[in-house]
């Protein structure tokens, strides 16, 4: 039986490389398209040591149609993990986040329209849920926004009409509450993939990742977020500060 090829965009990254290992164990040929972002991989653009030698690495940008065309040759499934990540950084590197996440996904879908695959999986984000679901005096609240002035005063828990709101488990059906450029661009990614996947007959799944952590995670990667802060304080023999 012919070995199937699976493409992972962002496949040289933290999550993508672990996925590559799992796919290799399952008997797939794995191809990774990755731009080796300097913030994550360093300035040299060198193949990371942790990336399995069996992975076929194509260095290229998901925004480049020619790079995407090459990467899709002979591919039966795609995991679309390429993205600029991190909420805070997205609020001042607006063009980079929108260009990579939204336009990069559009370029990928433009090419998949020409050569549909058997399966597409896109990495979305928990950030789409915003603050999540709350119970208030008048019922369920899915539109909670934290007030900046309250946060400055150290009041972390959201209130409504002077009454505290109770956090609840947040279901997938909660409507989107996009409070950052990152959240907006991840929502763009999942909607582009789901909408066009349905239109062109590509079975598509969007996974809204929560806080993922583990080996191969770069502390310089803004996705690492609070884990980088905690790790830095612990390495300097200081206690983590938890609000």
pLDDT tens figures, 217-227: 887 777 777 87
- Average confidence score pLDDT of the chain: 93
Note the CATH number of domain 5-130+176-215. 3.40.50.720
pLDDT tens figures, 174-222: 999 999 999 999 999 999 999 999 999 999 999 999 988 888 988 777 7
Question: Cα(203)–Cα(241) distance, rounded to whole angstroms?
Answer: 43
Is pLDDT at 150 greater than 90 in this prediction?
no
Domain segments of the chain: what residues? 5-130+176-215, 131-174
pLDDT confidence tier of residue 1, bands split at 50, 70 and 90 = low
Give 211-220's long-range contacts (Cβ < 8 A, gap of 24+).
211/126, 212/14, 212/15, 214/14, 214/18, 215/50, 216/14, 216/17, 216/18, 216/48, 216/50, 217/14, 218/14, 218/40, 218/41, 220/39, 220/40
* Nearest Cα to Cα of residue 145 among 125, 165, 171: 165
- The per-residue DSSP string of 130-162 comes to TT-EEEETTEEES-----HHHHHTT--S-EETT
How confident is the model at residue 43, as a pLDDT?
86
Is pLDDT at 40 greater than 80 in this prediction?
yes
């Amino acid at each position: 039986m012919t070995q199937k090829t699976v493409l992972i965009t962002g496949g040289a990254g933290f999550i993508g490389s672990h996925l590559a290992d799992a796919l290799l164990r399952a008997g797939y040929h794995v191809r990774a398209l990755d731009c080796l972002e300097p913030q994550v991989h360093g300035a040299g653009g060198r193949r990371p040591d942790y990336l399995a030698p069996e992975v076929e690495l194509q260095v290229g940008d998901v925004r480049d149609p020619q790079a995407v065309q090459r990467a899709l040759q002979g591919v039966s499934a795609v995991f679309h993990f390429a993205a600029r990540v991190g909420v805070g950084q997205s609020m001042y590197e607006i063009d980079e986040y929108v260009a990579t996440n939204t336009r990069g996904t559009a370029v990928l879908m433009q090419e998949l329209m020409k050569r549909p695959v058997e399966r597409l999986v896109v990495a979305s984000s928990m950030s789409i849920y915003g603050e999540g679901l709350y119970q208030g005096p008048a019922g369920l609240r899915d539109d909670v926004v934290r007030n900046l002035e309250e946060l400055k005063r150290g009041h972390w828990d959201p209130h409504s009409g002077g009454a505290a709101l109770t956090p609840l488990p947040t279901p997938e059906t909660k409507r989107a509450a996009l409070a950052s450029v990152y959240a907006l661009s991840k929502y763009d990614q999942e909607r582009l993939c789901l909408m066009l996947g349905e239109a062109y007959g590509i079975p598509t799944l969007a996974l809204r990742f929560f806080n993922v952590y583990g080996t191969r995670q770069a502390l310089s990667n803004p996705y690492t977020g609070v884990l980088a802060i905690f790790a830095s304080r612990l390495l300097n023999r200081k206690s983590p500060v938890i609000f």
